[in-house]
Chain A
Amino acid sequence: MKRSKVIILGICMVLVLSLLAACSKNNNTSNEAAASSEPNSSQTSKEVKLTFFNTSAEINTVFENLFKVYNQEHPNVTIELIPTAIGGEQLQKFQSLLASGKPATIANLDAGTIHQYKDKFLDLESEKAKYEGLALPGAVDGALLDGKFIGVPYTAQGYGLLYNKRVIDEVIGSSFDPSTFATRSDLEALFKKIEAAGKAPVIIHGADWSLAAHYQGLAYSLQSNNVEENRKFVEELKQGTVDLSTNQAYNGLMDTFDLLKKYNARKADPLVADYNKDSADFAKGEAAFYFMGDWSWAVIGPLEGRDKDFGIIPVPISDNAADFGNSQVAYTEPKLFAIDNSGSTPEQQEAAKAFVEWMITSEASQKAIIGEAGLAMPYKDRKVESSNPMSSAISKYVAEGKTVNIGVINYFPSDWWSKTGASMQKYLVDKVDRAGLTKEVQDYWKSTAGK
């Protein structure tokens, strides 16, 4: 009886192993097939299948429809969307695709993620000149990672204090002009008026990404107008050679945060952080300001009964109007298209390059990205005007060169916003004071030294 058990087990093992072996053999043959097809890549009629990993989850369907249009124009190229969920496990999915040896041909990722996986992506240096010709001044420079062009920016975003023009106009009794407005005291005076009129001055969205990646991210970006200088500053933080507690930009920013906290419409329960509700309440005029970016248009745009006019002002950091940051809004190219170089065939890569260019330049894709999705594209030849008043307002700052480049955060560790975001949340609900917050943030940086 015992022997029979051993035999059964043995047979099972053989069966399992042979199945696994069969799997790996299959893999090999498909690789061989791919390799042998290389010389034939001149045959343009050959079918190419691309996969597209998308982290801009709010416009999954917009992309999917675009892929169909592209397929009609280029029948030999099919593109399959690999969608992700908003706020879902996007990075984990990307990593597992990579680890399983089946990476997506094209990935729409945060610039910081592309930087971390830079060895896996195709160097687009040969394409750089072409995109420099197409893009707005500075857009390609802003997308460089360690000086290399490995991702094509397709959208530009800005953030700061969004305002609801109707609410402010009603409070001050005239048309609000954001250019009259450059210091913290100006902001405080306005907040007081708004509160006296019985309105809520500002909404702080209590989620860690908003508090850390956006608000606190400004502190590192305001050190200088130069991303490399800012990177150096963070390196010094890691080494412990600079002290945040005496840093002017950081303290100025946190002083303003205290002000926002004092006038926060969500004061009773600041950490609820319901993005849809916060955006909708702001759009309907329940608060005059909202610390957020132009992407909130995806929620606000289709909303019924919302106000019409919105704009943006920078987060003031001092009472000296001339200080860097007081008249500049934060601006970034958050998502880049990168092409895989770890598991894709040269044929797929060529098709991907052509497709990415089509996504940037074609009328169909601009209509979808600018018109439907309400995003701003950092390119000169725009065939569609944006319906998003916030991104139009940001474009004005960009045209005048009044921007804070927050590119430094692309080089931060990927758990940075989640860990320091928790500290910011504690500060928001008064669980720690300024000194405690500063210590937690500095401790985080020190813990990443050498990693």
Chain B
Amino acid sequence: MTNKKLLHNTGTFLIFGGPSIFAFFAVVLIPFLFGLYLTFTNWDVRSGDHTFLGLANYVEVFQDKTFLTQLWFTLKYVLFTVIIANVAAFFLAFALTSGFKGQQLLRTGFFTPNLIGGLVLGYLWQLLFSQVLPYLGKKYGWALFETSWLTDTNKAFWALVIVSAWQLIGYLMIIYISGLMSVPVDVIEAAGIDGANGFDKIRKIILPLTAPAIVICIFISISRSFLTYDLNLALTKGGPFNSTELSSYHVVQKAFLSNEYGVGQSEAVVLFVVVAVIALTQAYFLKKLEVEA
């Protein structure tokens, strides 16, 4: 009897879970493990053979000074992108749940950038930064925009952050909206009667009650911005003079342009570990802030 039930359960599970598990194995787990194996070899597309090297590739990763400075650069980029995107998304969501006319339309509008591919988005903003803004800057004498942001090492960094945050905001906003909608209205009303002002309401009631949404949003924004590649390629191509190469861009250049596949792949693994550690630690600590209504 229990055997039959088990068989039945397994069947049901396979019908619903099977395809995803297969996809997960085929495009995530197996390539990942194979990639991990390749980091211990001197694999090269041109020759196709691989001999075992041990940890030599990893040693080279930590001697690759550009990789380390770019990892640091990426950390800064992620920090600013995550903060700007989340703060903006939270307040947008807050404004767009207050119940005024046309908020549905605005929600759609803010979500749209997320639907545009990173490459297209990058080229659009590139035109904006390198042609449109300098044109306006010269016309109206705004010193800030007179030269292209993308040709100055500092401004190019901020250009990357702004565009990435702009792309992320809509997506995070949707999650925050659903988080905010689940905050019971009576609790807020009760707090109002007890004399709490708007700021208190946000800090003491809304923020704790939307903590699950915050955890998810920060997790998503960290992992997504660490792996930014298409925007980087389309917007700055790593320039001016390689100063805005994010880690994943560097990895691709290392592997495919410099033909150092093993080292590139090892750098990708190091990047994976860094992302995993940071994203999981933040989730662990923020989860503790969650409360029940």
Contact = CB atoms under 8 A, between A and B. Distances in A.
* Pair from one complex: yes
Interface string B231-268: 00100000111100000000011001111000000000
Contact of B258 (A269, A271, A413): A413
Contacts of A19: 22, 26
Given A12-B14, A415-B253, A423 B241 contact: yes
Contacts of A415: 253, 257-259
B240 A429 contact: yes
Nearest to A426: B241
A384 to B, nearest CB: 34
- Categorize the interface residue count of chain B: 35 or more
A98 interface: yes
Interface centre among B9, B17, B25, B241 (most CB of A within 10 A): B241
Given A98-B45, A116-B259, A271 B14 contact: no
B10 A117 contact: no
B42 to A, nearest CB: 12
Nearest to A117: B46
Per DSSP, are chain A's interface residues mostly helix, strand or loop, or mixed? Answer: helix
A271 B45 contact: no
Nearest to A13: B25
A269 B21 CA distance: 52
A15 interface: yes
B131 interface: yes
Interface string B134-168: 10000000000011101100000000000000000
Q: How large is the interface on A (under 10, 10 to 19, 20 to 34, 35 or more residues)?
A: 35 or more
Nearest to A93: B256
Contact of B130 (A208, A268, A274): A274
B240 A95 contact: no
A11 B10 contact: yes
Given A11-B10, A16-B21, A414 B257 contact: yes
B22 A7 contact: no
Contacts of B239: 208, 271, 422, 425
Contacts of A16: 21-22, 25-26
A387 interface: no
B9 A4 contact: yes
Contacts of B252: 89, 92
B51 interface: no
A425 B240 contact: yes
Contacts of B21: 12, 15-16
A418 B26 contact: no
B264 to A, nearest CB: 11
A435 interface: no
B9 A92 contact: no
Nearest to A120: B46
A36 B242 CA distance: 51
Interface in A172-212: 206, 208
Given A116-B259, A274-B130, A268 B147 contact: yes
A99 B35 CA distance: 13
Given A15-B18, A98-B45, A117-B46, A271 B151 contact: yes
29 contacts: A7-B6, A7-B10, A8-B13, A12-B18, A15-B22, A16-B22, A16-B25, A16-B26, A19-B22, A19-B26, A98-B45, A99-B45, A99-B48, A116-B259, A120-B46, A268-B146, A269-B134, A270-B151, A272-B130, A272-B131, A272-B148, A413-B259, A414-B258, A415-B253, A415-B257, A418-B253, A422-B239, A422-B241, A423-B241
Interface of A: 4, 7-8, 11-12, 15-16, 19-20, 89, 91-92, 95, 98-99, 116-117, 119-120, 206, 208, 268-272, 274, 277, 413-415, 418, 422-423, 425-426, 429, 431
What 7 A-B pairs come out closest when comparing CB atoms? A271-B151, A422-B241, A269-B147, A415-B258, A92-B256, A16-B25, A415-B257
